[in-house]
Structure 1
Amino acid sequence: MNYFQFIQKHSVMVFFGIMMTALSSFGQTFLLALYVPFLIEEFALSNGLISTFYGVATIASAAVLPKVGKLIDTVPLKKFTLFTTLLFLVALLFFSFAQAWWYIPIAFLGLRLAGQGLYSHIAITTMSRYFVENRGKAISLASLGHPLGQAVLPAIILLVITQIGWRESLWLNATLVAVVVTCYTLFVVKPKHLVSESKEEISDNQKEKKVDKVRQRDIMKSKEFLLLAPNIFFIPFAITGLFFYQFPIVEFKGWSVGVIAVGLTAYAIASSTSILTAGPLIDKYRAKTFFPFYLIPFLIGILVIWFGNSSWTMYVYMVLIGLSTGFGSATVSALQVEFFGQKYIGTVRSLFTSIMVLSSAVGPALYGVLLDAGLGFNVVFSVTSALLLIVILQSFRSIPKYSKAKWKYKFRNRKKKSKG
């Protein structure tokens, strides 16, 4: 089944996934950063203080997410989505009515938890649970909401802010989320759509589902968790950190700031392309096949911008990390189901989503410490490359022993033939 046939057959659930990931943008760094200058001006805050608010809120969100996110295994999908939407709306409106500095970290916590955390968690968990044979395509299509939001929403939000003000723009954001998600969840998603490809009905007409409990501490002790966790930590860590300091990077290289806009477009295109490429490949060969390799373009990209002198290397760098990010988002999401199964996927994914949220706070903080210490971007790039190399090497542990033995056997045979 190709993408066109798949979308025709499952259009309701595919759009649900894309809708949730795209609207999660209202809790993502790239959109919330647009409000920072207005908050600094209105509440007389320093850059350091507002960064601290944001970091603390993100870490708190990562701590809460496993407890809340696992409820998707026992609470019907529609009910869980509506409750999360209510939390999102309260956070957006609370943010818009901020009257003092202490409103800001509370609003950030709600937006990071509901937006970046739970909306993305709902989308990918739903695709992982309801699809089996076409899971790769389902996850890939739902993941498209992220680059779609990155490509479309910043320009629109900036225009809205300049026309009607930052507070009023938050009211529009809340209205969009409330109307689109609530109406779609209540009136478009029907019980007939909540049937998995294995024909197992997972209906919201049921009472809250009784699922045998699995302890998250036991998941965290498993070999599969320890194998996946470094990969899931790395990309948000590096991407958020590198994008947070993209203007200083351009200054360090001596390039025009104009390369950033084109570079981000190249990143979005490469990410979208690799997401769509990953889906059918995962369905055909399984995610485990690609797990040790998808971060290699990222490593090459870091080396390109580190040692490159011409401004065009910015575009090569953005394309390469976009390829890794897109392919990786589909691969690690599908691999969580391959490793842990569908039954507890909400509990499993909430743990990994928590790691992702936490890493997005750690990246800018660590890079900031290195730069404040006067170590410069040469050290930033070297540290990133070293960490990435370690993550790639440990990923090869996912390859079964019989595959390694087969490779060794083939290598030895070739060696013998070449000697003969």
Structure 2
Amino acid sequence: MTGAVLALSGPGQTAGMSVFVDPIIGDLEVSRSAVSTAYMVGTLAGAVALPWIGRAVDRFGVRVVLSAVAAAFAVFLVVLAAAQGLIGLTVGFVGARAMGQGGMTMIATTAVAIGVTRNRGTAVGVTTAVGTAGISLFPLATERLIAAVGWREAFVAEAVLIAVVVLPIALWGLRGLGGSRGTDAADRREGGAEDAWPLRAIMRTSMFWVISGAVAVSGLVTTAVFFHQVSVLGEQGLTPVEAAANFLPQTLAGLLASLAFASATDRFPPKLLIGGSMAVTAATLVLLPLVGPGWSAMAYGASLGAAAAGARAVEAAAFPFYYGTASLGTLRGVTQSIAVGSTAVGPLLLSAGHDAFGSYAPVVLMLAALPALVGLAAPFARTPSRTPSRARRPRV
């Protein structure tokens, strides 16, 4: 069920929103730059709400907060359907990005981490894989719906889908799953921390910054090249059709990587897996200038998709591994805010770099330095602990 919740965040994801851009531009008679700016503002503003949503999960529980987030998501999709100009569009983007890409994504994986104590990484991986598969289907299904009934009606249809599927899951499907503080007893039976880690204490540990840095860097660089994929790969000699088809190996590799990386956290220290995902990301970006039509483009797409999915899967499993689940909602609310914010600035950085250098290659090579730095730092991050009598002793 959590996989279905994650999949139905699709209308708020960049891929799900992308098919509405051209119809909106044509109907509202606004420029592409104006819509892009409204989307960036909406994404950044929506990211601000995520720490509050995370705290609410800790205080009120998954079911209550998911119900509220799903209802708000549906309402904001209707706001988008009714938009008559840039102001209404921006307001709709704020809510859809905050509740869809941010809130429902965070709650789905957090619910698994709270409810599962054995083989948690594998469970997170299954949820992520199912959710990723569902998200990848939204652009195709929505494009056909827009062609059949129009973009406004498509937004309304998505709102109805959220209301009739996610709300019942939250109210009845997740019965027995409370807030993270209420379900941390299993962790305590296994020798976990008795009290929630204060956020300030967590933020003083190097592990927090390594995990958060990986989330931010992965979101920034992968969204940048995904958003401009047709243009980026076109510079390497691929046709628009070939560049668009590259999303297929990205999606398939991402599904496999979600399962592999997340399940690996049950056996290996997550910080090593973070280092691995960052190394793959950096290597993929460095090799982009060598990509051409054919197998090299498919390998590039598969590698980048695997790296992005692996980073997300490890992050979802790493925080409960190192810090327990008592303050997991608050913690993931902060990092999800960072992740959403980074996705807003990535495409703009790559576009500005292309304008400055006349080519994507130089700026992509510069961006490769970011995951390389995080990957080098990850193995040296100290395993967090509190006092000897109350600290959790993770594997190192």
TM-score under structure 1 length normalisation? 0.84
- Please list the CA deviations of residues 161-207 of structure 1 after superposition, one character each: whole Å capped at 9, or x if unmatched: 00000011111101111001122222333328999696589xxxxxx
Structure-2 change in CA distance of 1:42 and 1:73 (3 Å): same
Q: For the Cα contact (< 8 Å) 1:232–1:332, is it kept in 2?
A: yes
Structure-2 change in CA distance of 1:286 and 1:213 (3 Å): closer
1:107 matched to 2:89? The reply is: no
Report the Cα distance in structure 1 between the residues aligned to 2:159 and 2:270, rounded to whole angstroms: 36
Give the count of matched residue pairs. Answer: 377
Q: Which has the larger radius of gyration?
A: 1
Written as runs of structure 1 = structure 2, the 5 A alignment for 1:10-409 is 15=1, 17-191=2-176, 199=186, 216-398=199-381
Amino acid across the alignment from 1:158? E
Report the Cα distance in structure 2 between the residues aligned to 1:103 and 1:345, rounded to whole angstroms: 34
Structure-2 change in CA distance of 1:190 and 1:63 (3 Å): closer
Structure-2 change in CA distance of 1:24 and 1:150 (3 Å): closer
Structure-2 change in CA distance of 1:275 and 1:122 (3 Å): same
Secondary structure of the 2:83 match is coil
Q: For the Cα contact (< 8 Å) 1:92–1:173, is it kept in 2?
A: yes
Shift of residue 64, structure 1, vs aligned partner: 2.1
Secondary structure of the 1:343 match is coil
Amino acid across the alignment from 1:92? L
Report the Cα distance in structure 2 between the residues aligned to 1:334 and 1:286, rounded to whole angstroms: 10
Amino acid across the alignment from 1:248? S
Amino acid across the alignment from 1:61? G
Structure-2 change in CA distance of 1:258 and 1:359 (3 Å): same
Secondary structure of the 2:256 match is helix
Q: For the Cα contact (< 8 Å) 1:70–1:347, is it kept in 2?
A: yes
- Please list the CA deviations of residues 238-284 of structure 1 after superposition, one character each: whole Å capped at 9, or x if unmatched: 11110111111122112222222432111111111111122332212
Q: For the Cα contact (< 8 Å) 2:77–2:159, is it kept in 1?
A: yes
More deviation in 299-308 or 103-112? 299-308
Report the Cα distance in structure 2 between the residues aligned to 1:303 and 1:310, rounded to whole angstroms: 17
Report the Cα distance in structure 1 between the residues aligned to 2:183 and 2:203, rounded to whole angstroms: 27
Structure-2 change in CA distance of 1:198 and 1:250 (3 Å): same
Report the Cα distance in structure 1 between the residues aligned to 2:3 and 2:145, rounded to whole angstroms: 23
Cα root mean square deviation, aligned? 2.4
TM-score under structure 2 length normalisation? 0.89
Shift of residue 76, structure 1, vs aligned partner: 2.3
Amino acid across the alignment from 2:252? I
Q: For the Cα contact (< 8 Å) 2:254–2:306, is it kept in 1?
A: yes
Q: For the Cα contact (< 8 Å) 1:40–1:46, is it kept in 2?
A: yes
Report % sequence identity: 24
Secondary structure of the 1:144 match is helix
Q: For the Cα contact (< 8 Å) 2:210–2:378, is it kept in 1?
A: yes
